[in-house]
Every structure is written in C-alpha cells, then in structure tokens.
Amino acid sequence: MNDEKLMEYYDSIKSILLSNNFKIDSSKLIDFGLQFNLSRNENRGLIRIYQNRKGIFKIDYSQIKNPEILDRVQKLLENRPLDENFLLQSSEQDNKYDLGYPIIGTDESGKGDYFGPLVSAAVYVDENTSDKLRLIGVRDSKECSNKEIAEISKKIIQLCAGKYEVIEISPEKYNRFYNQLKNERKNLNTMLAWGHAKAIEELLQKVDSKMAISDQFADERFILGKLQEKGKTIKLVQMHKAEHNIAVAAASILARARFLEKMAKLSRKYKMIFPRGASDSVIDAGKQFILKYGLLELNLVAKMHFKTTTEILKKEN
C-alpha cells in the first residue's frame, strides 16, 4: 500500500465532505487502508478507505447507519471525477504479500490463551472476493475489537460460503494431543501445523487452489507431508506478518470468532469469566475454578502444560 497516495486520496475526500458541512475527525491508518469518523448535526458514521491489489482505492460505507447521511455521502463521493493519480500500483514492500489468486490463507487463535480451545481456520479467496473482503473491513484480527470480530466474521461467512474451514481443538483434546507430542519429543509447533494442515485438507475437498499462505511458525514440510498423505498437493508459503495477505486476515478473524464463541460458552456453562491470555487475572480465575469444580475439571477448560498451571497450584503463604 502506498501511504503517500492514500493520504492524498483521503485529503481529496475530506475536502469534499468538509465543503458540504460535514465534520471529520479521528483518522487513523489500518491494515490495507485508513478510517475516519464523520458527523453532521447529531449524526455520526465511520468511513474506511482500502487499496486493492491493483492500487485502486475503494470506499467502505457500511459503518454509516443513518440512511440520509449514507445517501448524501455516497452521492458526493461516488459522483466525483476519477483521478488517475490514485490508480498507482502498490509498493514493492506490500506486493510481497500479494501472491496472486486464487489462494488459501490460514491462521489460528487461542495459542497464547490458557483457557479455551486452539482454533485454526482456512479461507479460499479469489480476486473478486479479495476486494469485497477489504470493503467489509477484513484485517488482522488483532486490530479488531471483539464486537468487530463478531460482525465481520458473519460477513466473511456470507461472502465465502462453502469456501472456508474452521478446525477446533478443545482443551481436553489439546491436552491429550500435547502429551502425545511430548512423548514423541515433538513440540507445540507440531500441533499448530496439524491444525493448519487439517483446515487446508478439509477446504481442498471443496475448492481448487494451488497456493496457500500462513504465518511463519514451523517447518512447512510437516504441513505439506500431512496433505500429501491425503493425496493433496499445494504450494505453501510461510511469511512473517502474513496477516497482510487478505486471505490470512480473513482466516484470522474466523478463527478468533470461533475462539470467542467457545469462551462465551464456557463462561455460561461454569458461570464464571475466563480471562484471556496467561496473566495474573488468569491465575486467579484458575484458583477460583478449582475451588468450585476441582482440579480434574480444569483439564476441560485449560491448556494444562502452560506454566500458569504451576502458578495456580502454588499454595498461598
């Protein structure tokens, strides 16, 4: 993405809106683009600008809920003459994440959370879908609030119907799997790779893709080997910050949405809040859980190999 051109494009839009009695504030860069708030009288909304793989900027109006404001803004911005200065290609730095289409992106959620499952997701994206995903606000899930995760994941499911897969490893299964890997002198990366391979394998039964991309976390030969056992062949690319690829970003949101859904289900079942991560509040919650339900039940809600378990079981002085 060309940040300089993005700001020029934003300034051109801002000028039009300001000259038509809109107020603009809180602009900030996001993955693949920029977002800003606008208001008129008592009505507020949010606009996102995205740059697609061809360098063309597109506008997402989905966060403007007032129909009159939406209609006015669209007429102002959609009817303006197209400026060819904004059709420049993305920079070489950003192009390294653009591997062409169709492509499958994979990501996981829950790896660093003591409580809850480990979830892997894979999403198939073609050129047409990629632009639509950007327009609905798809970006790295770490940049989204829980509310945005829930909203955007529903839109991804609609746009990519039949072209995504989510693999969930419950805490109980996770603990059995981890102990098995430990006995085989393997590590957590093997489990992560299994989740990615399984998601890709299941998705390849629905779609045809020669390319997949994931974050860099393990030896790609494990994933490819697992796929080849099932008669599946695909080129796998692993890159740091792979969430810059729209397919991986979409997978990250679906994985996080499933993780949050399961965490909410655990909270309802056990009538307590399970904090995220592995912080002091998580340790306190673990101690509270054992007092209510016992140590054996902890195996059903937590990843027991975390050092957090040792802290939970420490006796108070």
- Taking residues 118-143, what's their average pLDDT? 90
- Is the overall model pTM greater than 0.75, yes or no? no
**CATH number belonging to the domain at 3-92, selected among 1.10.760.10, 3.30.310.240, 2.60.120.20, 1.10.3720.10:** 3.30.310.240
Please classify residue 269 by burial: count the beta carbons closer than 10 Å to its beta carbon, then call 0-12 exposed, 13-18 middle and 19+ buried.
exposed
The tens digit of pLDDT for each residue in 226-282 reads 777 766 778 899 888 888 899 999 999 999 999 999 999 999 999 999 999 988 999
Considering the domain 103-264, what is its CATH architecture? 2-Layer Sandwich (3.30)
Edge-to-edge strand list for the sheet holding 43-51: 23-30, 33-40, 43-51, 57-60
DSSP for 170-195, written as a single string: -HHHHHHHHHHHHHTT--HHHHHHHH
> Which of the given ranges, 53-67, 137-151, 201-215, has the highest pLDDT on average?
201-215
Pairing label, strands 211-215, 57-60: unpaired
How many Å apart are CA 135 and CA 131, to the nearest integer?
6
Domain residue limits, the chain: 3-92, 103-264, 271-313
The tens digit of pLDDT for each residue in 19-69 reads 788 999 888 888 778 899 999 888 888 998 887 666 677 888 888 888 888
Residue 285's region, left for phi above 0, alpha for psi from -120 to 50, else beta, is: alpha
